[in-house]
Amino acid sequence: MFQVRIHGRGGQGVVTATEMLSVAAFEEGRHAQAFPSFGSERTGAPVVAFCRIDDKEIRLREPIMEPDALIIQDPTLLHQIDVFAGLKTNGYVLINTHHSFEEIGLGDFARGHPPERLCTLAATALGLKHIGRPIPNMPLLAGFAALSGLIRLESVVKAINQKFSGKIAEGNVAAATEAYESVKKEMEERAHA
């Protein structure tokens, strides 16, 4: 079983992101379970949501305390809550920022972690560029697909087209595609470096 935890703030589409991740996994014939942290959080408050992916029925209902991957939708949360709590050794981490791990004060953390499991992505900018709103969730999901290889970009695109239609769907697909390619490129460059 692969467990993903997404941290963000109310209004950033955190819950939607886990739901879409579960839909993308379902599209690939896998079992998936997405659920929010069930707060009554208002816009701007810290929000966490979870997604489990497996090849058999998922029965477990506990919150994800030891994630295989973390997606951080808002880097300002790093100073507010322990987003890394329980992260599995060598787990994946994707952070929404145009800075590097070093620049946001995570240099020590990054040095002790396999580089192919870490990535940053300026997802808010991608959201603004393609959707016209600072919503980073779909670019991050696609970036996560590129980083982890857990799901394919086309499954993310399928999930987007199920949830949205028209211009919003097009914008999200464009943002996701660019995010996917950008992360893929960065990972390749890093592998060759």
Name the site residues for other proteins (rule: CB under 8 A).
18-19, 22-23, 25-27, 31-36, 38, 40, 58-63, 65
Alpha carbons within 13 angstroms on the beta-carbon side of residue 156 total 28
Q: How many CB atoms lie within 10 A of CB 113?
A: 18
Smallest gap from Cβ 14 to other proteins, in A, equals 13
Which residue type is seen at 54? Answer: D
Smallest gap from Cβ 16 to other proteins, in A, equals 10
Smallest gap from Cβ 101 to other proteins, in A, equals 28
Q: Whose Cβ is closer to other proteins: residue 32's or residue 147's?
A: 32
Q: Whose Cβ is closer to other proteins: residue 2's or residue 101's?
A: 2
Q: Measured between alpha carbons, how far apart are the two ends of the chain, in Å?
A: 32
Smallest gap from Cβ 178 to other proteins, in A, equals 25
Q: Whose Cβ is closer to other proteins: residue 15's or residue 106's?
A: 15
| Pair of tokens at residue 126 | 């991608």
Would you give the DSSP letter of residue 136?
-
Q: Whose Cβ is closer to other proteins: residue 42's or residue 111's?
A: 42
Alpha carbons within 13 angstroms on the beta-carbon side of residue 43 total 2
